[in-house]
């Protein structure tokens, strides 16, 4: 990260806290690592991102429906899905500092160090060696690489490492009041399994015909050992996932379609296309026959925001085996090749899985601008969030010009009409210029000022966030003007 981008990222984090977007969790107790709370503006922005996703996926597609499954699930589900045995990271402890690290992260930091000092051949060689060891799950080789590279513990600066061991990322807890009778259950590490186990319930009750999708937004929990980059890697986070069930043999075609459709969803917000790229997985997970990530260029480099995975029939077949219940679909359509119905089969699945918190950070970073407004006469600047109006936490702010002459009452009367439809803020403190700046900082697209003329002809001035231009409009047209810009 260059000094400039480092500075920008720090400023965005500070801004997020100062303006009520994101707070460190349990802050008065010095925080809880890798857990964050969303403040009054953050909660609004997050809800708006969810709505944008839900409308694009569920409302606009008549063959996709949404569900909300429980976080706690039968423990066998995580055995069937492979998470109990395979959802782990290779960890190594430093014997002197007693601190634990992800072995691959230590090596990746070293690769980045080589890259930063233009030793690209060393970086490439280490990358190849590390990828090979990870692919073969060769834990001793990972340790060897750490020792060969002389990687020291960032705290104790010693190279006194334990062996590399696999560390499961699922949080577990007990159900039931009496420990002996209770069972270990897990906090779900992904929302997808709640969709798979409800596949038949939804298909039958909704009379869904293949191809069809089931979408869900919800919390997921992972005991991430490396907590860094703010809300990029959290222990409690939210996912927006959609599983699309298709006829076997058609998965490639649907995979390509969803890969394209999902990128378009990102770009429709007006984000510069050059900031996005696809990353194809060369090391495929055991369940996948194709996988692409959609990556965004954060100030600290390109990072995955969303994964599109062709998951084959792995999950449904596993649940069929572990539950003993048939997870099949009867397809009455006639196969032109055989002239017979396709009949019973376990559907194949294309998954689109986006991290809501990463999307939130992407949105914030992309919108954040420190704008220089200096003229020859005076120096001036503002911090503005150029959020897409449909995502803005507050759609309009209403200011009475002064606190007297009936202006506050008139302003509140206008607000009361608008607030049924839009999230509106009322502000009467400080000079108008200062109030504009506060609204710019949270991305409010419109500021409406009520003045003495309003009392005479019921017109107000409306000031646009991006251009800072003002115009005088009839107050009874405000709902249309705001609605036109902030609607989806
Ligand atoms: P990474 O490689 O960055 O750990 P992943 O490949 O494990 O991510 P998936 O299991 O595919 O991620 O989850 C889908 C999405 O959920 C990711 O694209 C990401 O946006 C989000 N996500 C995953 N782990 C976290 C986390 N710990 N904190 C916040 N978001 C996360």
- pLDDT single digits (tens) 53-63: 999 999 999 99
Neighbouring residues of 182: CB distance < 8 A, sequence distance ≥ 6: 174, 175, 176
**What spacing in Å lies between the alpha carbon of 233 and ligand 1's midpoint?**
7
Length of the chain measured in residues = 488
Cα separation, 106 vs 435, whole angstroms? 47
Residue 307 CB less than 6 A away from ligand 1: yes
**What spacing in Å lies between the alpha carbon of 245 and ligand 1's midpoint?**
22
Cα separation, 383 vs 371, whole angstroms? 6
**What spacing in Å lies between the alpha carbon of 148 and ligand 1's midpoint?**
30
Q: What is the SS3 assignment for 295?
A: strand
User: What pLDDT is stored for residue 3 in this prediction?
Assistant: 67
Cα separation, 192 vs 242, whole angstroms? 8
The DSSP symbol for 151 reads P
User: What pLDDT is stored for residue 182 in this prediction?
Assistant: 65
**What spacing in Å lies between the alpha carbon of 355 and ligand 1's midpoint?**
6
User: What pLDDT is stored for residue 305 in this prediction?
Assistant: 98
With tokens 């009455």, the residue in question is 332
**What spacing in Å lies between the alpha carbon of 239 and ligand 1's midpoint?**
8
Q: Beta-carbon neighbour count of residue 324 at 10 Å?
A: 7
**What spacing in Å lies between the alpha carbon of 488 and ligand 1's midpoint?**
27
Omega of the bond prior to 211 within 30 degrees of 0, cis? Answer: yes
User: What pLDDT is stored for residue 178 in this prediction?
Assistant: 67
Q: Is the dihedral of CA 68, 70, 71, 75 positive or negative?
A: negative
Residue 44 CB less than 6 A away from ligand 1: no
User: What pLDDT is stored for residue 297 in this prediction?
Assistant: 96
Residue 234 CB less than 6 A away from ligand 1: yes
Neighbouring residues of 190: CB distance < 8 A, sequence distance ≥ 6: 220, 239, 241, 353
Q: Which atom belonging to ligand 1 lies closest to the Cα atom of 306? A: 18
Q: Are 42 and 22 in contact (CB under 8 A)?
A: yes
Residue 149 CB less than 6 A away from ligand 1: no
Residues annotated in a binding site: 102, 190, 222-224, 232-241, 304-305, 351-358
Q: What is the DSSP string of 408-444?
A: HHHHHHHHHHHTTTS-EEE--SS-HHHHHHHHHHHT-
User: What pLDDT is stored for residue 4 in this prediction?
Assistant: 80
User: What pLDDT is stored for residue 2 in this prediction?
Assistant: 66
pLDDT by position in tens, the chain (length 488): 666 888 999 999 999 999 999 999 999 999 999 999 999 999 999 999 999 999 999 999 999 999 999 999 999 999 999 999 889 999 999 999 999 999 999 999 999 999 999 999 999 999 999 999 988 889 999 999 999 999 999 888 999 999 999 999 999 998 877 666 567 899 999 999 999 999 999 999 999 999 999 999 999 999 988 777 899 999 999 999 999 999 999 999 999 999 999 999 999 999 999 999 999 987 788 788 999 999 999 998 999 999 999 999 999 999 999 999 999 999 999 999 999 999 999 999 999 999 999 999 999 999 999 999 999 999 999 999 999 999 999 999 999 999 999 999 999 999 999 999 999 999 999 999 999 999 999 999 999 999 999 999 999 999 999 999 999 999 999 999 999 988 87
Q: How deeply is 292 buried, as exposed, middle or buried, from its count of CB atoms within 10 A (0-12, 13-18, 19+)? A: buried
Q: Are 245 and 47 in contact (CB under 8 A)?
A: no
Residues annotated in a binding site for substrate: 102, 190, 237-241, 351-355
Q: How deeply is 362 buried, as exposed, middle or buried, from its count of CB atoms within 10 A (0-12, 13-18, 19+)? A: buried
Domains with residue ranges and CATH for the chain: 3-72+185-365 (3.30.930.10), 88-168 (3.30.40.230), 394-486 (3.40.50.800)
Q: Which atom belonging to ligand 1 lies closest to the Cα atom of 355? A: 20
CA angle 255, 234, 213 (to 5 degrees): 25
pTM: 0.92
Note the maximum CA span of the chain: 83
Q: Which atom belonging to ligand 1 lies closest to the Cα atom of 309? A: 11
User: What pLDDT is stored for residue 228 in this prediction?
Assistant: 74
Cα separation, 167 vs 155, whole angstroms? 21
For residue range 269-324, list pLDDT tens digits in order: 999 999 999 999 877 887 889 999 999 999 989 999 999 999 999 999 999 999 99
ipTM: 0.98
Q: Which atom belonging to ligand 1 lies closest to the Cα atom of 239? A: 16
With tokens 């917000």, the residue in question is 269
With tokens 């966030």, the residue in question is 465
Q: Which atom belonging to ligand 1 lies closest to the Cα atom of 189? A: 10
CA angle 436, 437, 443 (to 5 degrees): 90
User: What pLDDT is stored for residue 181 in this prediction?
Assistant: 59
In testing the pocket of ligand 1, which one of 35, 358, 360, 362 has its CB within 8 Å of the most ligand atoms? 358
Q: Where are the alpha helices (DSSP H) in 68-178?
A: 75-80, 83-86, 103-116, 120-135, 139-148
Which of 395, 390, 387 lies closest to 364, judged by CA?
Answer: 387
Residue 305 CB less than 6 A away from ligand 1: yes
């Amino acid at each position: 990260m260059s000094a400039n981008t480092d500075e920008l990222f720090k400023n965005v984090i500070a801004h997020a806290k100062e303006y009520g977007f994101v707070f460190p969790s349990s802050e008065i107790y010095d925080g809880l690592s890798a857990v964050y709370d969303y403040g009054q503006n953050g909660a609004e922005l997050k809800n708006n991102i969810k709505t944008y996703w839900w409308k694009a996926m569920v409302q606009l597609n008549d063959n996709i429906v949404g569900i909300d499954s429980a976080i706690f699930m039968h423990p066998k589900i995580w055995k069937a899905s492979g998470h109990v045995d395979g959802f782990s990271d290779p960890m190594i402890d430093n014997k002197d500092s007693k601190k634990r690290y992800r072995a691959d992260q230590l090596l990746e930091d070293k690769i980045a160090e080589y890259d930063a000092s233009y030793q690209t051949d060393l970086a490439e060689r280490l990358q190849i060696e590390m990828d090979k060891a990870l692919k073969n799950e060769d834990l001793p080789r990972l340790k060897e690489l750490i020792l060969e590279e002389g990687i020291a513990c960032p705290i104790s600066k010693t190279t006194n490492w334990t062996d590399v061991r696999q560390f499961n990322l699922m949080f577990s807890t007990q159900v039931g009041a009496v420990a002996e009778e209770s069972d270990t259950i897990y906090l779900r590490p992904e929302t997808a399994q709640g969709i798979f186990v409800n596949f038949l319930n939804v298909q039958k009750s909704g009379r869904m015909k293949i191809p069809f999708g089931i979408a869900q937004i919800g919390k997921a929990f992972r005991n991430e050992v490396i907590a860094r980059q703010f809300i990029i890697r959290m222990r409690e986070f939210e996912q927006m996932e959609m599983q699309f069930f298709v006829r076997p043999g058609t998965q490639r075609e649907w995979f390509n379609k969803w890969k394209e459709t999902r990128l378009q969803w990102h770009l429709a917000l007006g984000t510069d296309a050059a900031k996005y790229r696809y990353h194809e997985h060369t090391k495929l997970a055991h369940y996948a026959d194709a996988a692409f990530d959609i990556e965004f260029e954060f100030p600290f480099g390109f990072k995955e925001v969303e994964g599109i995975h062709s998951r084959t029939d792995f999950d449904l077949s596993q649940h069929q085996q572990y539950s003993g219940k048939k997870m099949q679909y009867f397809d009455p359509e006639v196969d032109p090749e055989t002239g017979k119905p396709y009949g019973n089969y376990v559907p194949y699945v294309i998954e689109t899985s986006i991290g809501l918190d990463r999307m939130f950070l992407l949105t914030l970073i992309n919108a954040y601008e420190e704008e220089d407004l200096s003229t020859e006469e005076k120096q001036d600047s503002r911090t503005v969030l150029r959020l897409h109006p449909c995502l803005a936490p507050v759609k309009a702010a209403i200011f009475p010009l002064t606190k007297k002459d009936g202006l506050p009452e008139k302003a509140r009367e206008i607000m009361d009409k608008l607030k049924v439809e839009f999230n509106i803020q009322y502000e009467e403190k400080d000079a108008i210029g200062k109030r504009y700046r506060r609204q710019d900082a949270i991305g409010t697209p419109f500021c409406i000022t009520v003045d003495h003329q309003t009392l005479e002809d019921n017109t107000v001035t409306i000031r646009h966030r991006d251009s800072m231009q003002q115009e005088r409009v009839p107050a009874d047209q405000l709902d249309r003007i705001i609605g036109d810009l902030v609607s989806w």
